[in-house]
Amino acid sequence: MAGSLPLHGRRVLLGVTGSIAAYKAADICSRLGKLGADVYVVMTPEALQFIGPATFRALTTHPVMVNLFEEPLTDRIAHIDLAQGCDLVLVAPATANVIAKMAMGIADDLLTTCLLAVPDSTPLLIAPAMNTAMWQHAATQTNMATIVSRGTECVSPGYGVLACKDVGYGKLADVDEIVTAVCARLNHVSDYKGIRVLITAGPTREPLDPVRYISNRSSGKMGYALAAEALRRGASVLLISGPTALVPPVGVEFVAVQTAEQMLAACLLHAGTCDVIVGAAAVADYRVEKASGTKMKRHEDESLSLRLIPNPDIIAALTATRSPRQFIAGFAAETDHVVENASRKLRSKGLDLVVSNDVSRTDAGFDVDTNEVTLHWPDGTIQELPLQSKLATAGAILSSIAAARSSISN
């Protein structure tokens, strides 16, 4: 039934700009349509160099507009009708050029004119795609901060091999993640309103000397997705993060740390004010007993021995000092015997939930945009979630936590 589709009756304006990733906009358009959305597409002239309007015309059954002076409507100006007649506006891919125009309020083609006419009450999402250097450039980051401060939401670019063969952040986010963000924004829930959530994310770094450290492959994406989703659902969010290349979601309270001991100190300082704690960080289990104050030199034919000592158990410290009202969840990143190890962690740490995943997989866990996790509950219930974007996974985890807290309070 059409009425049961999650985006039934919703009108979405999709802006497509001149990026090699423009071909993925066709998949986004198709997916939104299959979920029930009525999609209207506006392309920049540069986008025509990568994909033709006939593709989007076939997918949407609507005219695809490019020229600012096209007026297919007889009773209203096209760019005003497009901008003000939609429930959500999505620009995917969004180039550095279009982001700069959005920041400056430049309206020199149909798409940017539409964007300038979008009402403040209409959700505006962008999914950037560009070379790593362009994404990291101070001008782009300043422009991003400007448009985000005005209410634009960003589906952050992913990490990988780009079209130019560079490796880094800048590739268009996975289609799943973009579509999930649209669905989440149009089906808004505020079940975390009035709730304060503490989330730990990323790796920790344990120094060997001033230039070397022990760490792990955690990118922080899962923790940052949890923070973004909790914020969207009305929570007051504190994100305590080890070193990552990610930009904290605008609106969260952010604390940057390096080592496990620093993360523990930050958690203990703030935990007392929080209702929900989610330990998604990949904390180093060990640190060097005594780090060198100067760079250690290599000596030929000589081995190097390091004495490692255990780091503090952050999640155990939090459960030991918890208040009765707190809900505390932890993550278990495993490579073997996942269920057994996660269940053991659930019991030994006194947690309300453990989220486990097999990080030996190439499509889930570290460094990728997708995840497949299992939820382990104290009553022995095991809930498996499908492979999906980390944002979708974050939504499912937070929904399960909200339901568990509600059943306890009732």
Instruction: Check which CATH number belongs to the domain holding 274 and give it.
Output: 3.40.50.10300
* Residues labelled as active-site residues: 164
Residues 128-152 pLDDT 10s: 999 999 998 999 999 998 988 888 8
Residue 217's domain spans which residues? 196-288+307-401
Domain assignment present for residue 301? The answer is: no
Domain assignment present for residue 331? The answer is: yes
212 vs 156: CA distance, rounded Å: 29
Q: Are residues 167 and 213 in the same domain?
A: no
Answer yes or no: is pLDDT of 392 > 90.
Answer: no
Domain assignment present for residue 124? The answer is: yes
CATH number at 168 reads 3.40.50.1950
Q: Are residues 107 and 252 in the same domain?
A: no
Indicate the pLDDT class of residue 1, thresholds 50, 70 and 90.
very low
What pLDDT is recorded for position 370? 81
What pLDDT is recorded for position 327? 97
Q: Which of 379, 380, 376, 365 is nearest to 334 (CA)?
A: 365
Q: Are residues 340 and 235 in the same domain?
A: yes
Q: Which of 398, 388, 44, 367 is nearest to 217 (CA)?
A: 367
What's the number of domains the chain is made of? 2
399 vs 331: CA distance, rounded Å: 16
Decide the pairing of beta strands 388-389 and 382-384.
Answer: unpaired
Query: Which tokens belong to 408?
Result: 């306890």
Residues 260-313 pLDDT 10s: 999 999 999 999 999 999 999 999 999 999 999 999 988 877 888 889 999 999
Residues 52-94 pLDDT 10s: 999 999 999 999 989 877 766 656 677 787 888 899 999 999 9
Q: Are residues 158 and 209 in the same domain?
A: no
Angle of CA points 334, 249, 223, to nearest 5°? 10
What is the rounded average pLDDT for all residues in the chain? 90
**Single residue among 121, 155, 186 that ends a domain in this structure:** 186
Tokens 């492959």, residue?
A: 217
Q: Are residues 142 and 253 in the same domain?
A: no
Checking phi first, is residue 371 left (phi over 0); if not, alpha (psi -120 to 50) or beta?
Answer: beta
> How confident is the model over 15-44, as a mean pLDDT?
95
Q: Are residues 151 and 52 in the same domain?
A: yes
Indicate the pLDDT class of residue 4, thresholds 50, 70 and 90.
low
Percent of the chain with pLDDT over 90: 63
What pLDDT is recorded for position 184? 83
> How confident is the model over 7-26, as a mean pLDDT?
95
Q: Which pTM was predicted?
A: 0.70
Percent of the chain with pLDDT over 70: 97
Checking phi first, is residue 405 left (phi over 0); if not, alpha (psi -120 to 50) or beta?
Answer: alpha
